[in-house]
Structure 1
Amino acid sequence: MHRRTLSLLALLPLLGACANLNRDPAAEPVRVVFFNEDSDTLDAPARAVVQSAAEAAARFSNVRVNVFGYAGPVGGAAFNRALSEERARHVSELLRQYGVPAERVFILGRGEVPFDMAPVESRRVEIRLATP
């Protein structure tokens, strides 16, 4: 193979990385993990969603990963705030297991959501990529 061809082939991975630098991390879809009532346990489908978010975060060197936990309207406000924080914390721990550095992960338990939302939709964690 010609020497110039080898040089160009060696650059292909770098060119692919440069293409990702021009993408906006905020354009990545919000990933949502759902939970059972009064639970902060991640099942297999939830783990796949978190892994997808970790892979997306890996495509950007300086992206911040915001993890927002929510709870349904059943139970008291203090209980739901704590549950939403636990859900967010469990998702953030799994993100770190999948390679997202801890300093790039920010969690917030938002507590209860309004009654106008279906119960299963309220028991969730949202994973959003954002520029710092």
Structure 2
Amino acid sequence: MRRRLFALAALPLLAGCEALTLTRLQDEPVRVVFFNEDRAELDAPAREVVRSAARAAARHPSARVNVFGYAGPAGGLAYNRALSEQRARHVAELLREMGVAAERVFVVPRGPVPFEAAPIESRRVEIRLVAG
């Protein structure tokens, strides 16, 4: 009888821990790295952003890591689709090198996107942690 009461008393605590875990994952920011025109390599500051995403992935071992690649509209549709994929794959490879398991990393090339004010905004990769 005593054991049963303890187990029932612990249920709210366990439920609170799970809610805390879900909230923390939802609070993880979207990390964004930017690329130079017609390039798919990152500089040192951008690599630090990827390293930050790898550390976040380590804190949430059941989360998926979605890597969305984008390119600008100049240069043709086929070229920019390929470039957005190259950018996303480059970031995904860096994440794997930094210890994120390959089966958790998903590359999603988005292709060209129009830009309003700053062309660099379209030359980016977004790293998002989502519930697995």
User: TM-score, normalised on structure 2?
Assistant: 0.82
- SS of corresponding position for 2:110: strand
Q: Counterpart of 2:60? A: 60
CA shift, 1:81, in A, is: 0.3
Contact 2:115 2:121 in 1 (8 A): no
- Partners of 2:35 and 2:94 lie apart in 1 by 15
Q: Counterpart of 1:30? A: 30
Deviations along 1:23-50, whole A, 9 cap, x unmatched? 4313200000000000001110110000
User: TM-score, normalised on structure 1?
Assistant: 0.82
Contact 1:26 1:128 in 2 (8 A): no
- SS of corresponding position for 2:45: helix
- Partners of 1:22 and 1:64 lie apart in 2 by 13
Contact 1:70 1:112 in 2 (8 A): yes
Contact 1:67 1:105 in 2 (8 A): yes
- Partners of 1:34 and 1:121 lie apart in 2 by 7
Deviations along 1:71-127, whole A, 9 cap, x unmatched? 011100000000000000000000001110000000111011123252011100000
Q: Which runs of 5+ in 2 are unaligned?
A: 1-16
Q: Which runs of 5+ in 1 are unaligned?
A: 1-17
Give the length in aligned residue pairs. Answer: 115
Q: Counterpart of 2:123? A: 123
Correspondence list, 1:86-125, <5 A: 86-125=86-125
- SS of corresponding position for 2:61: coil
